[in-house]
Chain A
């Protein structure tokens, strides 16, 4: 019993097609993959927004901004 379609290599390779594990679960895997990809963007935009908010809270005063403009590289 194998997770791939191959139990033995005593075969003619001309008759072998897919060799990856869990054949038949492609749609499920793709669905999970798409959800994970979209979730990454949701996490990322929240993280980015909170980073900017924190930066502004800490350094958003006029004096710091003016000094940053003076140090501009």
Chain B
């Protein structure tokens, strides 16, 4: 920071990412409210702890290897470059013992950037959490949380959400606000687990007809979704580089104009993404309300699905395009949710596979058509955005890095009887023991108080 301008730019960027982290924390508060609201009273505390303990577990694993994977894997390795491509010094700096992993005065950005990516990792894991409530073992879920939070999402980000990612270079993959790299992979991961885990007891009638297991507290669910919207602002802003010079971008762009960029270093503006976020939210809510006939849960989830569908291209869409893309994604994910539930007997307790997985997949594919031919990168030799590259990218996100690893791990855990809680515990309720202890303690206090009262 040897000039005033450099100092202001650095401190602004540092503070910018810091604010995004605090905002993104609200995503997690929202997920906890939403999941607990959707669960039955007998499972509340287990549901809460299952979700909230992913925070420390993904955090420590993100420090130990998740962040390193992001910087080590952009070339595949072995597709467009070796481990650490294009600059092995980055990967070396982000090992847990690396030079950029502790406080130092000549690097004020690495820590907040690490944290912003970590909050994305929590989000990916938390998306999965809601789908599997009320019957998964905590041990199993936390393994999946680490799998998606610190391994598979980090690989997909290195491949498709990095300025030198091989998917960007070869496929022209474009996913500016993570339709695929967070949402499709999380939806695919949840589906891979659900296929093996099976439905909650009572979810399907003997003839296979699905039953609704209603949220015990619709208010909590909806306010939770509102908080996720709020945190989503931080998520969007964190996906940008706030202020970059052409020298910093170091690509083909000429001139002295500074700009905000996407993670690919392609120019955009905070105004663009703010308008498009709101218009895609509006499209999703309006269609969610229509298609669900005014159901509050699906209307709010529709808003989320609208944003998620448009996110791949919300750096570039016109707001009216974002409105319609959000609406299309919401309609399709809603229909797919009920079709998959009835056809394959999948019990996705909160619609996470639909809202995140299907909407994310659809959003990545739509971006390939609407942004066809737009340069995916400021660097020479990168493919332009195109429908085939986006479709392959969506397959990689949902199936290759989402569904398949989760399905394999779920099979292994199920074979060791470590995936699903015992049937009797499910019948009693996961909080049964704690509730009994709490009731005994309450009765003990009550008896004592009555005794004191009787003796004057």
Contacts and interface: CB of A to CB of B under 8 A. Distances in A.
B3 interface: no
Given A21-B321, A21-B370, A13 B316 contact: no
Contact of B371 (A4, A9, A47): A4
Given A20-B321, A29-B320, A6 B293 contact: no
Interface string B140-158: 0000000000000000000
A14 interface: yes
Contacts of A21: 316-318, 321, 370-371, 374
Contacts of A69: none
A13 B293 contact: no
B180 to A, nearest CB: 19
Interface in A18-73: 19-22, 26, 29-30, 32-33, 36, 40, 43-44, 47, 51
Contacts of A33: 320, 323-324
Contact of A3 (B268, B327, B372): B372
B86 interface: no
Given A16-B267, A20-B318, A43-B290, A3 B377 contact: no
Contacts of A1: 373
Nearest to B253: A9
Contact of A9 (B321, B372, B378): B378
B267 A7 contact: no
Interface string B2-24: 00000000000000000000000
B384 A2 contact: yes
Contacts of A15: 255
Nearest to A47: B293
Contacts of A14: 255-257
B251 interface: yes
Interface string B50-93: 00000000000000000000000000000000000000000000
Contacts of A12: 253-255, 257
Interface in B311-351: 316-318, 320-321, 323-324, 327
B316 A20 contact: yes
B252 interface: yes
B127 interface: no
Interface in B261-295: 266-268, 272, 286, 289-290, 293-294
B130 to A, nearest CB: 28
Contacts of A20: 316-318, 321
B370 A3 contact: yes
B259 interface: yes
A24 to B, nearest CB: 11
B374 A13 contact: no
B94 to A, nearest CB: 27
B375 interface: yes
Interface residues of B, number: 36
Contact of A2 (B246, B374, B378): B374
Contact of A19 (B251, B268, B286): B268
B247 to A, nearest CB: 13
A14 B371 CA distance: 22
Given A13-B267, A22-B318, A33-B320, A2 B257 contact: no
With a 10 A CB-CB cut-off, give which of A8, A13, A33, A36 has the most chain B CB atoms: A13
With a 10 A CB-CB cut-off, give which of B259, B266, B320 has the most chain A CB atoms: B320
A36 B325 CA distance: 13
Interface in B362-386: 370-375, 377-378, 380, 384
Contact of B374 (A3, A32, A36, A51): A3
Contacts of A16: 267
A8 to B, nearest CB: 6
Contacts of B294: 47, 51
A71 to B, nearest CB: 19
Nearest to A18: B318
A11 B316 contact: no
Contacts of B293: 47
Contacts of A36: 324, 327
Interface in B393-449: none
Nearest to A50: B293
Nearest to A37: B286
Given A2-B374, A32-B324, 8 more contacts: A2-B371, A2-B373, A3-B374, A4-B371, A19-B268, A21-B318, A21-B371, A47-B294
Interface of B: 246, 251-257, 259, 266-268, 272, 286, 289-290, 293-294, 316-318, 320-321, 323-324, 327, 370-375, 377-378, 380, 384
20 contacts: A3-B371, A4-B316, A8-B252, A12-B253, A14-B255, A14-B256, A15-B255, A20-B318, A21-B316, A21-B321, A21-B370, A21-B371, A21-B374, A22-B321, A26-B318, A26-B320, A29-B321, A40-B286, A44-B290, A47-B293
